[in-house]
Structure 1
Amino acid sequence: MSSLTMPSSLDKARRVPSWLAPSLLLVIAYFVLPFLGTDYLFEAILTPFLALSLAALGLNLLTGYAGQLSLGSAAFMAVGAFAAYNFNLRIPGMPLLGSMGLAGVIAAAIGIVFGLPSLRLRGFYLAVATLAAQFFVEWALTKFSWFSNDNPSGVIDAPQLTIAGLTFDGPVGRYLFALTVVTGLTALTYRIVNTQTGHNFIAVRDNEMAARVIGVPVLRTKLLAFGLSSFIVGVAGVLWAFAYLRTVEPAGFNLDRSFQILFIIIIGGLATIRGAFFGAALIVVFPLILSRLGSLLFGGAFDSGVLDMSQHIVLGALIILFLIAEPDGLVALCRRLVNRFSPQI
């Protein structure tokens, strides 16, 4: 009998704690990469990766966990970026974290307003309703110059990243600032999805009628999902504008950005926190790899427009492949590979 129970005991002994991998990644991100990475690595890869990961994390909370489809993520990013800029500009002495927090609240409020149709609509019809947010926000930001401080071009420089007298300047500083914000909000999201609120999200996603029967406040849960998601996406918009683009402009938050964030959670995996980071890594790195391969294989035979279109075609084919072969995304694929190659006892 003891020989039968021994493998189970060894399995438990060899099981890696769930907190170990994230802790090791954070140690590398904070204490190794800043000393070894190049400016190109921080400016072109890591900083946009962090901002897109956070935006995808917010959308995954809404779509993956709560089951509410949204095509207006870039609009809420724009709301967060422009709100943070105006809070910083028009309120003397406003700390950066304060303006970011208030910007997230404004984005959450706008998200709840555009989430009201979810009380009556679902699926494709809800996606169209949230798409209206994208067009409305783009129109408002270009129509009313007050949002961009009456700048004729509509493109404004982002403020300096300063917290408690500490300035996050240069590629490494902006990367560390983005990393800290993303780490904090990721921990908050992990906490949310493992509480009763997260369980309510999943219940509404799986079956609204059954959720009502067991006492889940469906309407309030949907609006809460829109609010929390828009808050996180709004803060991601601040990182995208302040830490990555270094400018605040409506063109940085167009419809393509909304679809890009949606593709991230599809490729990475719905209803999983790791999926947002896996998908963002692929979306950020994959075009760079294709560009390098195109330059090596074809040299100057094709211009940048053809290479850019080729990247979109390959990425679209990759998304279709994932939907067919692995609907659960990169997270499920990695889990399968780990289970296959891990030592069996």
Structure 2
Amino acid sequence: MRIGAAKQTYAADAALFDTATQRRWIAALALALVAFPFLADEYWLYLACLIAINVASACGLNILTGYTGLVSLGQAAFMGLGAYTVAILQARFGTPFWVNLFAAGTVAMIGGVLVGIPSLRVKGLYLAIATIAASVLAHFLFANLALTGGTSGLSVQPASIFGIALDTSFKLYWLILPVTALMLLGAANLFRTRIGRAFIAIRDRDISAEVLGIPLLRYKLLSFGLSSFYAGVAGGLWAYFFRVVTPESFPLVMSIFFLAAIIVGGMGSILGAILGAVFMTLVPELLKLVVGWLPMSANATLILSPVRTIVFGALIVAFLIFEPHGLAEMWRRVRRFFHLWPFRN
């Protein structure tokens, strides 16, 4: 520990960014994100918005799986609930986007709590199967209810602020990025509270946590609710971004994508959710480039879908074997290297 690094007050000890260096890096990152849309073209703005949506959803899944230890393969279904909520409210009532996004999170949270009820009795693989069943049920409802438009889905009018339609990636960037940043800030602070520490205790040893007085069902349902709320808001942002919602928009492979993101990024880490979502969003783009170089590039679409699923599975296995703590741990090693450099063994 550096001389003078000990905190003198409780506020300093509880600070989210406890060093001047961290605050400077965060300020530099914020300035870069503000400047980015003025320098990037449409393709990179599209990717930035998609990455921000995926970061928000991955952060929600990390609350449930990474911090509470409850495996879920229903994240896509909860995003679908949020997306359909936005589409229905926007089409039928024309309510403001912030009302729609909050309603999307709330509806998804209710769905998450219902799905989480079996979590007191089952865990691990059995819980994952239960969430898959919920995902299949949600897909059936999306495809067969008149309210959701059936298999044709629903179109979504663009969000608007002060009469300005957010109908381009540049404009949507200023909606999606701040919402994602607020969600990340909320998650980072959550695990400095009693609730967040209860989640971690349940993950580490649920029986011991119950002996210590933590009501397991209440906190497991709360974790499911918070995770689903994040997914619902991310689904609402997704609906505003793509402007159409169909049952095929949220397949099971999307849930596998988010599970892969938090495994690759590092479970139980906000940074891991960010790095994993960024990495896994960019992987398909890299695959498109690779497939485009192949002689049979005319069939690139047919090749890409199965290859992408294979790559996701291979990445999960590779990181579980060689780096179970994910990209976040690799980043910490780099930081430690430069922190001690040149005085290292």
Normalised TM-score (structure 2) = 0.89
Alpha-carbon shift at residue 26 of structure 1 (Å): 2.1
Q: 1:130 aligned to 2:131?
A: yes
- Mapped to 2, the partners of 1:302 and 1:325 lie a distance apart of 36
Q: 1:303 aligned to 2:288?
A: no
Alpha-carbon shift at residue 187 of structure 1 (Å): 1.2
Alpha-carbon shift at residue 46 of structure 1 (Å): 1.0
Contact 1:145–1:154, Cα closer than 8 Å, also in 2: no
1:38 maps to a residue whose letter is: D
Alpha-carbon shift at residue 162 of structure 1 (Å): 1.1
Q: Which residue of 1 aligns with 2:83?
A: 81
- Mapped to 1, the partners of 2:25 and 2:214 lie a distance apart of 34
Mapping for residues 104-253 of structure 1, pairs under 5 Å: 104-148=105-149, 154-243=152-241, 245-253=242-250
Q: Percent of pairs identical after alignment?
A: 34
Q: 1:27 aligned to 2:34?
A: no
Q: Of 46, 51, 54, which aligns to 1:52?
A: 54
- Mapped to 2, the partners of 1:171 and 1:156 lie a distance apart of 20
CA-to-aligned-CA distance 1:37-78 (integer Å, 9 cap, x gap)? 0001112x1111111111100000011111111110000000
- Mapped to 2, the partners of 1:291 and 1:205 lie a distance apart of 38
Q: Which residue of 2 aligns with 1:261?
A: 258
- Mapped to 2, the partners of 1:78 and 1:195 lie a distance apart of 30
Normalised TM-score (structure 1) = 0.89
Alpha-carbon shift at residue 192 of structure 1 (Å): 1.2
Alpha-carbon shift at residue 85 of structure 1 (Å): 1.6
- Mapped to 2, the partners of 1:167 and 1:21 lie a distance apart of 33
What is the total number of aligned residue pairs between the two structures?
330
- Mapped to 1, the partners of 2:313 and 2:215 lie a distance apart of 38
CA-to-aligned-CA distance 1:242-280 (integer Å, 9 cap, x gap)? 11x221111111111111111100101101111111111
Q: 1:287 aligned to 2:284?
A: yes
- Mapped to 2, the partners of 1:219 and 1:10 lie a distance apart of 43
Q: Secondary structure at the match of 1:112?
A: helix
CA-to-aligned-CA distance 1:7-31 (integer Å, 9 cap, x gap)? 833989xx6543433332222112x
* Distance verdict in 2 for CA 1:119–1:19, change over 3 Å: farther
Q: Which moved more, 1:98-107 or 1:299-308?
A: 299-308
Alpha-carbon shift at residue 193 of structure 1 (Å): 1.6
Q: Secondary structure at the match of 2:152?
A: coil
C-alpha RMSD of the superposition: 2.1
Alpha-carbon shift at residue 133 of structure 1 (Å): 1.2
Q: Of 316, 319, 338, which aligns to 1:319?
A: 316
Q: Which residue of 1 aligns with 2:14?
A: none
- Mapped to 1, the partners of 2:123 and 2:45 lie a distance apart of 40
- Mapped to 2, the partners of 1:91 and 1:294 lie a distance apart of 44
* Distance verdict in 2 for CA 1:79–1:308, change over 3 Å: closer
Contact 2:155–2:245, Cα closer than 8 Å, also in 1: yes
2:45 maps to a residue whose letter is: F
Q: Structure 2: where are the runs of 5+ without partners?
A: 7-18
* Distance verdict in 2 for CA 1:188–1:42, change over 3 Å: same
Q: Which residue of 1 aligns with 2:2?
A: 8
Q: Secondary structure at the match of 2:72?
A: coil
Q: Structure 1: where are the runs of 5+ without partners?
A: 1-6
Q: Which moved more, 1:304-313 or 1:192-201?
A: 304-313
* Distance verdict in 2 for CA 1:96–1:196, change over 3 Å: same
Contact 1:242–1:248, Cα closer than 8 Å, also in 2: no
Q: Secondary structure at the match of 2:22?
A: coil
* Distance verdict in 2 for CA 1:172–1:146, change over 3 Å: same
* Distance verdict in 2 for CA 1:21–1:143, change over 3 Å: same
